[in-house]
């Protein structure tokens, strides 16, 4: 396969952004109604401009805000992930996985990692537009990770044959000064070097492309790296940087996809868009009606004669001076029929309930505790999981899963989780999996401990009838599985070899004690 030249790369960039361009109008419409802070897909906002001056009712913004905030609260609260493997591993491997999990938590939680900010921005993009674009990389000091969320307007992507996002391109504006400082004078175009001296803060449009190295066609890069990173100076038609990388750099979590397209949709805003627009019109009508009730139009007398009738709030209609007051007072308020107010208010409440349902807010609260048995609580939690899994399951897999896997790969490659020689042999060549903790899965993990308690109670009752029945169950293994199931630190468990030695010593001491007692009894 021939290597892509600069013209081919430019055509790829143009094609992908042309496909993305049709989505901008939809994203702008959704942002105008639900996320006005992000409504700059087809317009340019000035700093300090009012975001929501076109809206009358803020309820659509509130439901988007509440659902966006709930993602972090539900899926990233406390110790929200653990590393494991598909197969059961020994004590040393389990201890290394837990230690690496704790170290990865520290990398995520460090202030300079920007993880909380990137997650917050990504959650609201995910809820509103059905997707977001994040990057995971090593920070400039090479001492930690850096997470960032990018504007959808500036990003385009494409899928591979398996339906996974494999290539991402992102537009970026960099100043002449920053280009020279970041890439070096030899890499950038000669005009940029000259412009950096006279106009250092003029911006140059750049595009960052990350794609599989096999698609790029460079045999040398493909033999060493699975991905290639390209920085293209669009203005000067110049390839600034071409390097192979071991990680895909970008992740694109997607909410609800449709076959045949690389771009996703948000089921929340798709369902709620018509109701959000309807709510704005209804609120405007109800506010006008309320204003007219509070300040009704007035009919007065004057020499001037006008044929029109002003029915607005505080409106005045002037009538002829010769008006006969036997037909009514010359100065009076116009009677208003308020029979439509309850109907309009009831319809507004219906729309509000629909928006709550569209954004899953009527399902997010945990079942009330009250006076319930353990079985009732368990059944309520099962119902809660069934109702919320369609919302949170894609986020765990698409967002948390991709970000954690990419962060783990980068951290391991850069020695942030310790030396690779410290990895137990049992884990070498084994794929590490992430298991996420949330209210949707916490009870499932605790079931192991509950089963251990039930088993031990059954065993205790059975051994009263037949003491030999204890040999049917390996209590040591059961206890270890129960301790791991509740998420206890691996350091609480002693290595199996050490535990076996202690048990053997205790058995020998007990046998010696029995032999001594038997000898004294003779």
Q: Beta-strand (E) ranges in 55-144?
A: 81-85, 133-138
Quick: pLDDT tens for 87-118.
Answer: 878 878 888 988 899 999 999 999 999 999 99
284 within a domain of the structure (yes/no) = no
Residue pLDDT, tens place only, 218-247: 889 999 999 999 999 998 999 999 999 999
Query: Where does residue 19 rank: exposed (0-12), middle (13-18), buried (19+ CB within 10 A)?
Result: middle
Rounded alpha-carbon distances, angstroms, from residue 417 to 71, 220, 342 = 27, 29, 63
pLDDT at 521: 60
pLDDT for the residue 305: 43
Question: For residues 252 and 168, is the Cβ–Cβ distance under 8 A?
Answer: yes
Does residue 57 lie within any of the structural domains? no
Between residues 26 and 142, the one the model is more confident about: 26
Is the CB of residue 182 less than 8 Å from the CB of residue 169?
no
Higher pLDDT, 306 or 360: 360
Residue 387 has pLDDT above 80, yes or no: no
Q: Flag the least confident range among 194-208, 285-299, 478-492.
A: 478-492
Task: Look at residue 159 in the predicted model and tell me its pLDDT.
Answer: 93
Q: What is the pLDDT of residue 66?
A: 93
Residue 313, in any domain of the structure:
yes
State pLDDT tens for residues 366-377: 656 666 776 676
Rounded Cα distance, 179 and 168, in Å: 21
Q: Give me the mean pLDDT over the 393-419 stretch.
A: 90
What average pLDDT does the structure give for the chain?
84
pLDDT of residue 304: 47
Neighbours of 501 (CB within 10 A): 12
pLDDT of residue 213: 93
| Domain total of the chain | 1
For a pLDDT cut of 70, what percent of the chain falls above it? 84
Nearest Cα to Cα of residue 406 among 108, 126, 191 = 108
The model's pLDDT over 25-41, given as tens digits with 9 standing for 90+, comes to 999 999 999 999 999 99
- The pLDDT tens digits of the residues spanning 425-438 come to 888 888 888 888 77
Query: Which range has the worst mean pLDDT, 15-19, 218-222, 305-309?
Result: 305-309
What mean pLDDT comes out for the span 133-150? Answer: 93
- Asked if the structure places residue 280 within a domain, the reply is no
What are the backbone dihedrals phi and psi of residue 211, each rounded to the nearest 5 degrees, phi first?
A: -145, 165
Mean pLDDT of 467-480: 73
**Residue 101 φ then ψ, to 5°:** -60, -45
CA–CA distances in Å: residue 432 to residues 79, 92, 93, 392: 17, 15, 11, 22
Q: Which domain holds residue 344?
A: 291-355
In a domain? residue 297? yes
Q: Is residue 333 assigned to a domain?
A: yes
Q: Is residue 498 part of a domain?
A: no
Cα separation, 305 vs 97, in Å, equals 89
Average pLDDT for 108-136: 95
pLDDT grade for 383, boundaries at 50, 70 and 90 = confident
Cα–Cα distance, 289 to 343 (Å, whole number): 12
179 assigned to some structural domain: no
- Is pLDDT above 60 for 65? yes
By DSSP bridging, strand 332-333 and strand 227-233 are unpaired
């Amino acid at each position: 396969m021939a290597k892509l030249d600069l013209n081919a790369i430019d055509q790829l960039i143009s094609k992908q952004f042309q496909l993305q361009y049709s989505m901008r109008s939809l994203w702008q419409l959704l942002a105008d109604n639900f996320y006005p802070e992000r409504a700059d897909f087809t317009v340019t906002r000035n700093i300090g401009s009012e975001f929501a001056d076109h809206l009358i009712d803020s309820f659509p913004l509130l439901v988007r805000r509440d659902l966006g905030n709930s993602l972090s609260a539900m899926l990233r609260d406390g110790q929200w992930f653990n590393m494991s493997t598909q197969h059961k591993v020994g004590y040393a491997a389990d201890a290394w996985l837990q230690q690496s999990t704790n170290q990865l938590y520290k990398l995520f939680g460090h202030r300079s990692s920007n993880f909380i900010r990137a997650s917050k921005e990504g959650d609201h993009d995910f809820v509103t537009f059905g997707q977001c674009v994040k990057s995971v990389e090593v920070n400039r000091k090479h001492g930690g990770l850096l997470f960032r969320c990018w504007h959808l307007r500036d990003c385009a992507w494409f899928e591979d044959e398996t339906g996974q996002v494999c290539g991402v391109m992102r537009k970026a504006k960099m100043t002449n000064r920053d280009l020279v400082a970041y890439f070096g004078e030899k890499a950038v175009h000669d005009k940029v070097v000259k412009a950096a001296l006279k106009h250092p803060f003029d911006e140059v449009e750049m595009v960052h492309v990350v794609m599989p190295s096999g698609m790029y066609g460079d045999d040398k890069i493909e033999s060493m790296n699975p991905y290639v990173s390209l920085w293209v100076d669009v203005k000067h038609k110049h390839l600034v940087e071409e390097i192979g990388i071991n990680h895909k750099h970008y992740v694109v979590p997607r909410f609800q996809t449709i076959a045949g397209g690389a771009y996703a949709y948000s089921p929340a805003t798709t369902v709620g868009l018509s109701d959000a627009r309807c709510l704005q019109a209804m609120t405007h009508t109800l506010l006008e009606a309320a204003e007219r009730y509070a300040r009704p139009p007035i009919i007065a007398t004057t020499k001037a004669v006008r044929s029109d009738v002003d029915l607005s709030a505080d409106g005045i209609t002037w009538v002829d001076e010769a008006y006969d007051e036997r037909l009514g007072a010359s100065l009076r308020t116009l009677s208003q029929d308020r029979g439509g107010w309850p109907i309009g208010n009831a319809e507004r409440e219906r729309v509000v309930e629909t928006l709550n349902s569209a954004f899953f807010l009527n399902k997010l609260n945990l079942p009330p505790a009250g006076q319930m048995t353990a079985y009732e609580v368990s059944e309520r939690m099962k119902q809660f999981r069934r109702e919320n899994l369609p919302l949170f399951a894609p986020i765990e897999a698409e967002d948390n899963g991709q970000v954690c896997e990419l962060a783990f790969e980068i951290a391991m490659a850069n020695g942030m989780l310790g030396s690779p020689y410290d990895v137990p042999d049992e884990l070498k060549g084994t794929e590490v999996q992430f298991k996420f903790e949330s209210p949707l899965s916490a009870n499932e993990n605790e079931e192991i401990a509950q089963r251990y308690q039930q088993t031990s109670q059954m065993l205790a009752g059975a051994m009263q009838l037949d003491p030999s029945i204890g040999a049917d169950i390996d209590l040591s293994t059961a206890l270890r599985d129960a301790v791991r199931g509740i998420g206890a630190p691996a350091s609480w468990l002693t290595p199996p070899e050490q535990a076996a030695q202690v048990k053997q010593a205790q058995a020998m001491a007990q046998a010696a004690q029995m032999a001594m007692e038997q000898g004294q009894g003779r």
